[in-house]
Structure 1
Amino acid sequence: MSELFQRSKWKKRKILLRGGPLPGIYRLRQLHMHWGATDDKGSEHVVDATRYAGEIHIVHWYSKYSNYADAVRKPDGVAILAILLQVGKNPKPEIKRILEGINAIKTKGKEAPFQNFDPSILFPANRSYWTYHGSFTTPPCEECVTWIVLKEPIIVSEDQMESLRSLSSKTADEPHCPLLDNWRPLQSLNSRMVRTPCQ
């Protein structure tokens, strides 16, 4: 896990994920977030019956496959690193880098590219994690994901959460409708084994 994110000096400086439970090198595809209408819900992973205010998903695909579309059809094709968000008084400064893009994506259908963005700046101090094999949390929920869930949440402020809650689930030419509770309900383990490495 110590080498989870590495910026390659070749292939146009791609961000790579490797080590831990992964069998090879995974390339960064995208980053997205889930959050709730209130601070006691929003994360898609639940820890000891606690649901967090939100969760960041950093999605990668296995570079041994020809492209992302091919990777999602393979059982080991995708790795998603999940970072839990907890509301507190001393927010992680680096979270501001993502939230600055909010003004560019206030409505449905918008995207905000991040230039020279290294996702590892979002990592908490403690890099310990849980891992399991599962699926995407959005339809069609392909069973191709190695999940890596960091145990320590990062802190966000109430104002930062309100910025997320101010986004609209409608397009710019439609009436504003707050984008809230974009998380998947908790699913059964279905005999999946959740593991943690020896630290």
Structure 2
Amino acid sequence: MSQRSLTWGYNKDNGPHTWYKHFPIARGKQQSPIDIQIWNAKFDSSLKPLNFNYSASTTRRIVNKGHSFEVEFDSSTDKSVLSGGPLTEKYKLTQLHFHWGRRDEEGSEHSIDDLKYASELHMVHWNTKYSTVSESIHQPDGLAVVAIFLKVGGAHQELEKITHALGSIRKKNMSTVFTNFNPACLLPDNKDYWTYSGSLTVPPLLECVTWIVLKEPINISKEQLSKFRSLYSTMEGEHPKKHIETNCRPRQSLQGRVIRSNLI
């Protein structure tokens, strides 16, 4: 692990306000997340419906990354692909992860007219016109990330499969096999969206993302959220033990970017 990868987190000494010291692009002009102001979003009749073609056969494992957890997918095949919407290419699903806050009402990274949700799910896809994920992240159209808001309500039955697995990856760098899970089960019924050009919300903060933010949230229960926060950002044997209490980057300036929407 490089020294640089150890320099960022969400604590007072290494939180988002310090990231620019090691990742100067943090002060770039296309940074994410942002506040989506509905009055300022432009309806674009050329935007197409989104096509989610996912398969449970591509799910591989779930891993504690120390700042979040990821469900990883096999993207060597074309079995889990996103197309349509603002995209002109096919994008393969490589991983999904969540962001959450210290309190249930402020865990999303993006917001709508300054309204935040309990959590935010990111489904990360890479552009098939490039050879690898590593190559794609250095291209302005390299990634397409679908953001889905989660609001506190009843337990999400399909999400329960993920939260149940978290007990096996409590410490940083722990992983377990996680298969036969179709991520389509986490999509809301209504797939209307906003889209804009932005960046990764974690270092290296590269400006390579076409963001697709779905309007309709899905549910998560307080108990399920508490399992997110039960994860540790520290490794086995490392002291003091620290929970991942929050992993949200503050909203960034729009810097003149246009937010487009298929919402009339």
TM-score > 0.5 by shorter chain: yes
Give a deviation string over 1:128-163, Cα, whole Å, max 9, x none.
Answer: 111111000011211110011111111110100111
Contact in 1 for aligned 2:56/2:179 (Cα 8 Å): no
Partner Cα separation in structure 2 for residue 18 and residue 84 of structure 1: 20
Letter in 1 for 2:53: F
Shift of 1:63: 0.6
- 2:258 corresponds, among 186, 190, 193, to 193
- The one-character-per-residue Cα deviations of 1:98-140 (angstroms, maximum 9, x if unpaired) are 2122112211122344323221110111111111110000112
Q: 1:123, 1:8 → 2: CA distance?
A: 14
Give the letter for the 1:45 counterpart.
H
Unaligned 5+ runs, structure 1: none
Aligned length: 197
Indicate the SS of the match to 1:50: coil
Q: 1:145 to 1:54 in 2, by over 3 A?
A: same
AA paired with 2:241? H
Number of the residue aligned with 1:173: 237
CA contact (8 A) 2:54 2:183 kept: no
- Tell me, in whole angstroms, the C-alpha distance in 1 between the residues paired with 2:198 and 2:177: 28
Equivalent of residue 92 in structure 1, options 148, 151, 156: 156
Asked whether the 8 Å contact 2:194–2:261 carries over to 1, the reply is yes
Q: 1:102 is paired with a residue of what secondary structure?
A: helix
Q: Which one-letter code corresponds to 2:179 in the other structure? A: Q
Corresponding residue for residue 156 of structure 1: 220
Aligned-partner Cα distance in 2 for 1:124–1:48: 20
1:116 counterpart residue number: 180
- Of residues 16-25 and 98-107 in structure 1, the stretch that sits farther from structure 2 once superposed is 98-107
Match in the other structure for 2:64? none
Secondary structure at the counterpart of residue 167 of structure 2: helix
Q: Name the amino acid aligned to 2:166.
A: I
Asked if residue 125 in structure 1 is aligned to residue 189 in structure 2, the reply is yes
1:39 corresponds, among 104, 123, 128, to 104
CA apart distance, 1:14: 2.7
Greater Rg over alpha carbons, structure: 2
1:29-54 Cα deviation digits (max 9, x unpaired): 11111101101211110111111111
From 247, 252, 257, give the equivalent of 1:182. Answer: 247
Distance 2:252 2:176 in 1: 30
CA contact (8 A) 1:135 1:143 kept: yes
Equivalent residue for 1:72?
Answer: 137
What percent of counterpart residues are identical?
A: 44
Alignment match, 1:4 = 52
Pick one of 158, 162, 168 that aligns with 1:104.
168
Amino acid in the other structure paired with 1:104: S
Query: What SS is found at the alignment partner of 1:96?
Result: helix
